[in-house]
Amino acid sequence: EPECKKGLAQDEEPECKKETLQDEESESGKLEDDLEKEACLGGKVRKIQRKDMVCLPRCEWRHANNSFLIHGYYNYHHLILTVRDDRLKLGVPGVYHPQEEKAAESFGFPEFIPAEELDLKLTDEEKNDREKFGYWCRDIRGSHDCVEPQKR
């Protein structure tokens, strides 16, 4: 059986053992359940690293190579997961600016949530105090919503 490849290239699908895929699916469900429980207890948010995106449904892994996400992660050293409006969301740190809004939307992150609306402790290198800092967010599709890319 092939070993699990951890590549996150947009066109690549990791080849995994059946047990590994089941573990990933249950892990993404567990992560979503944990966040929903936390959200019910006060709208909490969780900081994650780019590598933690493998806990999301497989169809969302491709966003790990999104240029906008990489830029925000490089500048602020984290991403967030949160539940808002009963939806699991992935957030990229950044500042609100009309040009940034256009860029964020074109890369699939249309919603801006100001940092002061989130209960999140950040270090000085994880935030920007000089401008309107927050997170550009996108909804995370559940594993049942994901469409597997067609094999070539």
Phi-psi region of 131 (alpha: psi -120 to 50; beta: other; left: phi over 0): beta
Residue 14 has pLDDT above 50, yes or no: no
Structure tokens at 17: 């053992």
* Helix runs in the chain, H state only: 18-40, 67-76, 98-106
43, 33 Cβ separation under 8 angstroms: no
Under 8 Å between Cβ of 22 and 16: no
State residue 18's pLDDT score.
Answer: 31
The residue among 116 and 3 whose pLDDT is bigger is: 116
Task: Report the amino acid identity of residue 125.
Answer: E
Provide the b/e sequence for 101-121 (b: ≥16 CB within 10 Å): beebeebebebbbebeebebe
> Structural domain boundaries of the chain?
18-139
Selection from 15-19, 42-46, 62-66, 142-146 with the highest mean pLDDT: 62-66
| Structure tokens given for 123 | 């270090």
Higher pLDDT, 96 or 2: 96
Is residue 80 within 8 A of residue 93, CB to CB? The reply is yes
Per-residue pLDDT band at 28 (split at 50, 70, 90): low
3-state secondary structure of 7: coil
Q: Sheet harboring 133-139: ordered strands across?
A: 45-48, 79-84, 87-95, 133-139, 111-114
pLDDT at 67 over 90: yes
